[in-house]
Amino acid sequence: MDRARGQGVTEYLIIVVLVGIALITAVGIFGTRVDRTYKDSTEAVAGRVQVHTNP
């Protein structure tokens, strides 16, 4: 019974690590785009419109 429980914990740990790596990768890829979009929005609201069309 203890081996099966240990195996389940190990599998759970592997899944958690893989999800963490996927999240870090996604933030790295999309983070700058989201940041640019947010800055463009705040500048547009402030009256300084400068839209970036190239990603």
If one counts the domains in the chain, the total is 1
Structural domain boundaries enclosing 25: 18-50
- Specify if 8 maps to a domain: no
In this predicted structure, the answer to whether residue 1 has a pLDDT above a threshold of 70 is: no
How far is the first Cα of the chain from the last one, in angstroms, to the nearest whole number?
A: 53
Residue 7 lies in a domain: no
Res 5: pLDDT: 76
Give domain status of residue 35, yes or no.
yes
What is the C-alpha R_g of the chain? 21
Q: What is the pLDDT of residue 11?
A: 94
The answer to the question of residue 1 being in a domain is no
What confidence score (pLDDT) does residue 45 get? 82
**20 vs 10, 32, 43, CA distance in Å?**
15, 19, 33
Whether 12 is covered by a domain: the verdict is no
Residue 13 lies in a domain: no
pTM as predicted? 0.55
| Model pLDDT for residues 7-38, shown as the tens digit of each residue | 889 999 999 999 999 999 998 888 888 888 88
Per the domain annotation, does 31 fall within a domain?
A: yes
